[in-house]
Amino acid sequence: MIDLMLKPWQLAINTWKQADWLPRLGLILTTISFFFLYPGVTEPIMTIKATVNLFGLKSTIFEETRSIWQTVISLEEAGYAAVGMMVITFSVIIPITKGLLIIWAWLSPARWRWQLISVISKWSMADVFVIAILVAFFTAKATAELQSSLHDGFYWFTAYCLISIISGQCLASYANQQLQPIQK
């Protein structure tokens, strides 16, 4: 029983020993990125405030601060569950799946795991794209009547995205070695 539990760790240690410093850094950054993802999803990301100016009196008609998670819940409550599911898929499920697969591929190396990571990685930038569009929209449209401000959640999520991108680049050379055809 103990041998069965130690085998993945022994494989991980062997993989670690065989890898150069760059893939090792990639694995470390992948692990660190998880600590940025959680607050990036749960902390407030943006406040949107709409005001109206009537006869020289300025009145706030709408002001809301939300996190990514609160936005998903609001979308579901408003009847847009499919949109909420897309947000949660691209900002939570795919990043967590990718990170866990990378760790699993290190614990138990296999060619097909690196191929799966490669496929998932193509979708991991969708979250960055969605956030970029939201920020661009609200900052471009910010006028006296509509203002937006970014909060800690935005910076946590951006840090997660950047660390994830850097870790992916660090792991790319190692993954490519693992995906090379086996020489006979």
Do the domain assignments include residue 10? no
CA dist list (Å): 88 to 4, 13, 54, 73, 127:
35, 34, 39, 10, 9
Question: Which pTM was predicted?
Answer: 0.77
Is residue 98, in this structure, part of any structural domain at all?
yes
Q: State which residues form the domain around 52.
A: 21-171
Per-residue model confidence as pLDDT tens digits over 11-30: 777 777 877 888 889 889 99
Domain assignment present for 136: yes
Stretch among 55-69, 105-119, 151-165 having the lowest mean pLDDT: 105-119
Query: How many domains, in total, are found in the chain?
Result: 1
In a domain, 83, yes or no: yes
The enclosing domain of 42 has a CATH number of 1.20.140
Q: Is residue 37 part of a domain?
A: yes
What are the residues whose beta carbons fall under 8 Å from the beta carbon of 25, sequence distance 6 or more?
167, 170
